[in-house]
Amino acid sequence: MVHILGRAGIPMVLVARRGERLQALAQQYQNVEVLVADLLRDEEVAKVAARIADTSLPEIDLVVNNAGFGTSGSMHRIDVDRLANEVKLNVIALTRLTHAAANAMRTRKHGHILNVSSSASFQASPGLAVYSATKAYVTSFTEGVAMELRSSGIKVTALCPGLTKTEFQQNSNTTGAATSFPAFAWTSVSMVAKAGLEGVAQGKVIVVPGVLYKVLVAISNSVPRAVSRKITQLITKRV
């Protein structure tokens, strides 16, 4: 998304916990502000929220909540502190920053919020139980907030991609997925980023990139939940 916006000459505020990588990215474009923050720390989330609300600096018209991670395996075998941090980053930090963005944008009567969710948000996922639950929250939360703000001039969108090759696989211990699933099951990073930005600009509440995942989401919404769980369990066993 940074590359798409940067090539378009749009000023940006980049937020992440790894400063060196942020600086390297920022040097590729003009009018880029870097804000190093670890969103697992409450005070750093507050720092980002304060920047969103700061009227003395250039206003932020689009907030993208993309920070998050997953954990694969049986929930009871995973370190509970890691699971708690997964909820804290995927849910609580996202909620706080959406809250900050909504309040800042309401005074201007315009703005865009893009919350990165997942196609896993539409069904329970054995083996990714906490991750899919956090993303179910993100999708539902985004839908609710979008309706609350529908007359405010603020567009709120949940981006729900399927399998996409990023650092997510390494951080969530799902690197086996790269060889377990056929090439057609994977969406490209550039396609997902473009779909998300176009979706929020068009005022879409839910964006599911790729025909395959549109079909899978439609199926998961139409079959009994017990059947959906069984299908998802068969799929996640391959990860």
| Residue 132 dihedral angles phi and psi, to the nearest 5° | -65, -35
Return the bridge partners of 207, or none.
159
Tokens of residue 56, six digits: 């003395």
d(CA 58, CA 36): 18
137 is a catalytic site residue: no
| Other beta carbons within 10 Å of 224 | 8
Q: Which of 29, 131, 137, 213 is catalytic?
A: 131
Exposed e or buried b for every residue in 104-116, given b needs 16+ CB within 10 A?
A: bbeeeeebbbbbb
Amino acid at 171: N
Q: What amino acid positions are annotated as catalytic residues?
A: 131
